[in-house]
């Protein structure tokens, strides 16, 4: 098999370690704007209500802070100086403030509950769109990207977005509204102290920004390293048998340590600066508190600005309420940068070019009426290609399974050509076998027939129609494929076989299983066809898993079959049983067979011998043996194609 060149999602150094990071990344404005659109546009009404609730909560908190001035100047001081009983009025004032606080508590509870619902809704929509778009991507994308790194988009990156939507965004909105309301209250209370607090807060923000800028690049690196670690772990889980067979445990641990060290380094540096920021801003807040008391007391002593004892007390609380949201915004910068790094990775996956399909010829059910073919909705067992033409006419071509390749050139990457001027034809009902060493291009040809990849030059025709004109989904529906690597899904045996034809009846599933000689062993399973398979059918033998995949192809009842070393995982005894069933399955169909055991292709109508992407011999088994060429030497074990 000629496998496409694997390309990891990020450059790596020796031992798989991520390459050193480049210049410090800046805030990705494009990702930020797009994220805001994704979050806000579908949730405008809830966000308006959230903003109103936050405004009410901020107003209530400010009223509580201002009440301290009223308490001291209008009640405590007059009662201390004159002895006048103002407790009744004070009680009403306290109840009024308590009402404001209750209103603030209710508003805070309301907007937090709304944001939980909004954030989960956004995450659901992102995951839905991400998964739906992933289904449209070409095979080339999955051949060139680590599956663990793709999984990281669904897990780590979406989780950072969830935290941002549910916590960071409302906190930033809350902080901005609080800053504005508190600033207005401070100016109203004492404009000289308001100017002092504003200047000192700007100093705090500058210090916080410098600290945050040091950690930003490491948060981005942390997300990238996390994807690499996840990808490596998934590879090791899938390849545990290989690791143990070759005693590769220590090397695997060493490789993982390198990746984990990179993640640890990025995470440590990121959180080190992030954790430093909190104490710095808090201590500067404490310093500001002391300076306000000193400056306010001095101004009150000189009678400047009409500052009273109550005003100073209220101002101390207001200054805390003013600097705290600014510090919160500063601390949220790293969270925002990390979430934007995750958002960028998600958007990059969403922006991957989907598989292009310009086909307009479709596969339809037909029945014979009045000597011609008529399209119908019900399944008749007869198929035809529905071919609309530019002049408005419509023709129906019976699906016969005539597949022809003419002068086909192809390479997975432009600089390396895999197939060279390949020409072959398979007439309806013929069995065509491909033989050759690994890397000769056998599987590549079947990938081109499926249009998993498009050819660089030449033509591929299916029943006389250029396959580029056939819609890909319809083309693939007409092809039954049994791969060497079996994929079974979590579900019952019945559901896994029915995967080949979702509307298949139980009887059709049983018939397909019998055809593949899988029925007997399935009946012996604990729950028969209702036995639940998990972990890719780990409770079954490799041969049993392959038999189920053959039954899955059989139930689809396609006109063309592609068997990519379908019996490679089956023992000789089982292979004889399967071969008998497959002979029935192949009867009347065009079949392409890739086989590692030449005994399985002796009865083929034509055998193609490939070497380095070229067909070097073709003919029946007897013809090729008589030629005493490469096939003869390969069959007799004289040499192996290289």
Task: Annotate 248-275 with DSSP letters as a single string.
Answer: -HHHHHHHHHHHHHHHHHHHHHHHHHHH
Q: Residue 597 falls within a domain, yes or no?
A: yes
Q: 167: burial class by Cβ within 10 Å (0-12, 13-18, 19+)?
A: middle
Q: Residue 20 falls within a domain, yes or no?
A: no
pLDDT over threshold 50, residue 10 = no
> Of 482, 478, 455, nearest to 590 (Cα)?
478
* Cβ count within 10 A of residue 294: 10
* Residue 97 to residues 63, 74, 101, 325, Cα–Cα distance (Å): 7, 15, 6, 22
Q: Residue 24 falls within a domain, yes or no?
A: no
Stretch among 60-74, 374-388, 396-410, 445-459 having the lowest mean pLDDT:
60-74
Task: Annotate 501-569 with DSSP letters as a single string.
Answer: -TT--HHHHHHHHHHTT-HHHHHTSTTGGGPEE-TTTTTS-HHHHHHHHHHHHHHH--SEEEEESTTTT
Residue the block writes with tokens 């404490």: 286
HSE-up of residue 286 (Cα within 13 Å, Cβ side): 5
Q: What contacts 474, CB < 8 A, 6 or more positions away? A: 359, 361, 362, 363
pLDDT in tens, 184-226: 888 888 888 888 888 888 887 777 777 666 666 677 777 778 8
Q: Residue 206 falls within a domain, yes or no?
A: yes
For 410-422, what is the HEC assignment? ECCECCECCEEEE
Q: Which of 341, 374, 398 corresponds to the end of one domain?
A: 398
Predicted confidence band at 2 (pLDDT cuts at 50, 70, 90)? very low
Predicted confidence band at 17 (pLDDT cuts at 50, 70, 90)? very low
Q: Residue 21 falls within a domain, yes or no?
A: no
**Cα radius of gyration rounded to whole Å, the chain:** 36
pLDDT at 578: 66
pLDDT over threshold 70, residue 405 = yes
Q: Residue 507 falls within a domain, yes or no?
A: yes
Predicted confidence band at 168 (pLDDT cuts at 50, 70, 90)? confident
pLDDT over threshold 60, residue 520 = yes
Predicted confidence band at 407 (pLDDT cuts at 50, 70, 90)? very high
CATH code of the domain containing 329: 1.20.1560.10
- Answer yes or no: do 438 and 586 share one domain: yes
Give SS3 for 395.
strand
Partnered with residue 422 across adjacent β-strands are: 408
Q: Which of 350, 385, 418 corresponds to the end of one domain?
A: 350
Predicted confidence band at 527 (pLDDT cuts at 50, 70, 90)? very high
* Cβ count within 10 A of residue 4: 18
Report the mean per-residue pLDDT for the chain.
81
* Cβ count within 10 A of residue 315: 28
- Answer yes or no: do 160 and 43 share one domain: yes
pLDDT at 423: 92
- Answer yes or no: do 209 and 126 share one domain: yes
Give SS3 for 352.
coil
> Of 425, 187, 401, 404, nearest to 315 (Cα)?
187
* Rounded-to-integer distance, Cα 355 and Cα 360, Å: 15
Tokens of 5: 């060149």
Q: Residue 1 falls within a domain, yes or no?
A: no
CATH code of the domain containing 585: 3.40.50.300
Give SS3 for 424.
strand
- Answer yes or no: do 583 and 620 share one domain: yes
* Cβ count within 10 A of residue 353: 10
pLDDT over threshold 60, residue 602 = yes
pLDDT at 378: 82
- Answer yes or no: do 44 and 70 share one domain: yes
Q: Which of 337, 371, 398 corresponds to the end of one domain?
A: 398
Q: Which domain holds residue 515?
A: 403-635
Stretch among 146-160, 288-302, 492-506 having the lowest mean pLDDT:
288-302
- Answer yes or no: do 316 and 384 share one domain: no
Partnered with residue 222 across adjacent β-strands are: none
Q: Residue 10 falls within a domain, yes or no?
A: no
* Residue 443 to residues 1, 484, 546, Cα–Cα distance (Å): 5, 10, 18
- Answer yes or no: do 115 and 263 share one domain: yes
- Answer yes or no: do 111 and 195 share one domain: yes
- Answer yes or no: do 475 and 558 share one domain: yes
pLDDT at 581: 63
In this prediction, residues 297-301 reach a mean pLDDT of: 75
Strand pairing of 362-369 and 372-376?
Answer: antiparallel
- Answer yes or no: do 528 and 602 share one domain: yes
Residue the block writes with tokens 């019900």: 378
Our count of domains for the chain comes to 3
Q: Which of 103-112, 197-206, 304-313, 557-566 has the highest mean pLDDT?
A: 103-112
pLDDT in tens, 342-399: 888 889 899 999 988 889 999 998 888 887 888 888 877 788 999 999 888 899 999 9
Give the DSSP letter of residue 478. Answer: T
pTM score, two decimals? 0.69
- Answer yes or no: do 148 and 162 share one domain: yes
pLDDT at 183: 86
Tokens of 584: 């029935």
- Answer yes or no: do 457 and 603 share one domain: yes
């Amino acid at each position: 098999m000629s496998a496409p060149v694997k390309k990891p999602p990020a450059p790596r150094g020796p031992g798989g370690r991520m390459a050193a990071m480049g210049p410090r990344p800046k805030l990705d404005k494009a990702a930020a704007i797009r994220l805001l659109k994704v979050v806000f546009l579908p949730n405008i009404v809830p966000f308006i209500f959230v903003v109103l609730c936050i405004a009410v909560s901020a107003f209530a908190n400010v009223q509580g802070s201002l009440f301290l001035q009223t308490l001291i100047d209008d009640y405590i001081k007059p009662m201390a100086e004159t002895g006048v009983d103002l407790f009744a009025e004070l009680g009403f004032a306290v109840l009024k403030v308590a009402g404001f606080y209750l209103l603030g508590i209710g508003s805070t509870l309301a907007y937090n509950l709304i944001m939980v619902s909004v954030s989960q809704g956004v995450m659901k929509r992102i995951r839905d769109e991400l998964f739906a778009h992933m289904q449209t991507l070409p095979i080339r994308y999955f051949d060139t990207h680590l599956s663990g790194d793709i999984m990281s988009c669904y897990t780590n990156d979406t989780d950072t977005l969830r935290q941002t939507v549910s916590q960071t965004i409302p906190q930033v909105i809350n902080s901005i509204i609080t800053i504005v309301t508190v600033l207005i209250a401070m100016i109203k209370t004492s404009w000289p102290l308001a100017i002092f607090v504003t200047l000192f807060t700007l100093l705090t923000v500058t210090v916080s920004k410098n600290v945050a800028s040091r950690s930003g690049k490491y948060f981005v690196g942390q997300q990238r390293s996390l994807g690499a670690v996840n990808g490596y772990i998934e590879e090791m889980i899938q390849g545990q048998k290989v690791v143990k067979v070759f005693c590769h445990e220590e090397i695997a641990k060493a490789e993982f340590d390198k990746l984990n060290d990179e993640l640890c380094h990025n995470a440590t540096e990121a959180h080190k600066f992030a954790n430093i920021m909190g104490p710095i801003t808090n201590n500067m807040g404490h310093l500001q508190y002391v300076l306000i008391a000193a400056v306010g007391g001095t101004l009150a002593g000189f009678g400047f600005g009409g500052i009273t004892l109550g005003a100073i007390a209220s101002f101390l609380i207001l200054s805390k309420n003013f600097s705290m949201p600014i510090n919160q915004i500063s601390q949220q910068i790293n969270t925002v940068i990390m979430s934007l790094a995750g958002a960028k990775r998600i958007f990059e996956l969403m922006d991957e070019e989907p598989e292009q399909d310009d086909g307009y010829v479709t596969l339809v059910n037909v029945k014979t009426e009045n000597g011609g073919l008529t399209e119908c909705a019900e399944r008749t067992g007869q198929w035809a290609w529905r071919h609309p033409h530019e002049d408005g006419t419509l023709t129906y071509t019976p699906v016969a399974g005539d597949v022809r390749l003419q002068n086909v050139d192809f390479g997975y990457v432009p600089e390396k050509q895999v197939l060279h001027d390949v020409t072959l034809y398979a007439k309806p009902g013929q069995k065509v076998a491909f033989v050759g060493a690994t890397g000769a291009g056998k599987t590549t040809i079947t990938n081109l027939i499926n249009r998993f990849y498009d050819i660089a030059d030449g033509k591929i025709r299916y029943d006389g129609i250029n396959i580029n004109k056939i819609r890909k989904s319809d083309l693939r529906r007409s092809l039954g494929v049994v791969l060497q690597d079996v994929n079974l899904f979590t579900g019952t045996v019945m559901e896994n076989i029915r995967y080949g034809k979702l509307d298949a009846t139980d009887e059709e599933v049983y018939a397909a299983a019998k055809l593949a000689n899988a029925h007997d062993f399935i009946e012996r399973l604990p729950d028969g066809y209702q036995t639940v398979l998990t972990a890719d059918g780990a409770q079954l033998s490799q041969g049993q898993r392959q038999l189920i995949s053959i039954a899955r192809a059989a139930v689809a009842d396609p006109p063309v079959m592609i068997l990519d070393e379908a019996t490679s995982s089956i023992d000789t005894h089982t292979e004889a049983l399967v071969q008998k069933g497959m002979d029935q399955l192949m009867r009347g169909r065009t079949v392409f067979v890739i086989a590692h055991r030449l005994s399985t292709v002796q009865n083929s109508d034509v055998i193609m011998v490939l070497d380095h992407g070229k067909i070097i011999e073709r003919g029946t088994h007897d013809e090729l043996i008589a030629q005493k060429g490469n096939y003869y030497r390969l069959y007799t074990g004289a040499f192996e194609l290289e």
